[in-house]
Amino acid sequence: MPRTAVFSDIDGTLLNSAHQVTPRTRDAIRAVQAAGVPFVIVTARGVSGTYPLLEQQDISCTVVTYSGGVIMDEGRSVIHHHGLTRAQAQEVVDFAEAEGLDMTWSAYSFEDWVAPDRADPRLLQEERIVMAEAREGAIASIGRDEVQKILCLCTPGSTKEVERRLKGRFPEFAIAISSETLIEVMPAGSSKAGAVHTLCDLWGIDPADALAFGDNYNDLPMLDAVGHGYLMGNAPAELLARASLVAPTNDEDGVARVLERLGLI
């Protein structure tokens, strides 16, 4: 059994600010795997927005999507899933629309990604980043009664206020900012940290021996869940001010440089 594992966020962590994986970072991932250490992608992205990137880089690994909502092994078999019901998701959408929150929404159910208006520039920006397309539709059009995540796509400057309003109305859900304009709404217990513990239990690894890398608010529980949690140097200033382990920025191959320095590759 492996003695450690490496868990990493994608956006702002593995990807540089041009939304690319550099050759140095790609080679570091492959070297870690060649040494027998599991490398795990842990992302807020959906399934359809994650695998095209991995295929482009010829990377095969265990993947956690929807910030813990779905865990898939290297063969893409689902080994864990967790979500809101369609009724719960509809409540969130109805509240946002009734309150006039400065956002649009999209919803994810396994490989299905649905949004109310595909022409909304906030959605188009997200589609460009993740290299995937949502389909236009309502919550009721989702085939399964399990919605891993509602993604709130906010107008710049409104994110913290939208988060405050959502948390006030839905204290029973896990709600977290994942970028300057994105907020995730998920069921309680669905988190990157929970996924880390699930996989460490599966592989017989002590989380205290594991590493993790992330750059934003939704990564903090994952970084706290392992013994060596590195916040990227490009993280928000208020997070960097209280971080104990800081990696170089995503534009400086921060993940690769830490793995090299620790002798894991």
3-state secondary structure of 33: helix
Cα distance between the two ends of the chain: 18
Sign of the torsion formed by the C-alpha atoms of 236, 241, 243 and 245: positive
Per-residue DSSP letter, 245: S
CATH of the domain at 99: 3.30.1240.10
- Give the pLDDT confidence score for residue 190 in this predicted structure: 86
171 lies in the same domain as 103: yes
**Structural domain total, the chain:** 2
Q: Which amino acid is at 100?
A: G
Model pTM?
A: 0.86
Parent domain of 15: 6-81+190-261
Does residue 32 carry a pLDDT above 90?
yes
If asked whether residues 157 and 216 sit together in one domain, one would say no
If asked whether residues 56 and 20 sit together in one domain, one would say yes
* Distance from C-alpha of 10 to C-alpha of 16, rounded to nearest angstrom: 9
Chosen domain end from 142, 172, 187: 187
Instruction: Give me the amino acid identity at 76.
Output: R
Tens of pLDDT, residue by residue over 49-79, are 899 999 999 999 999 999 999 999 999 999 9
Whether 12 contacts 186, CB under 8 Å: no
Residues 99 and 171 in one domain: yes
Is the domain of 204 the same as that of 73? yes
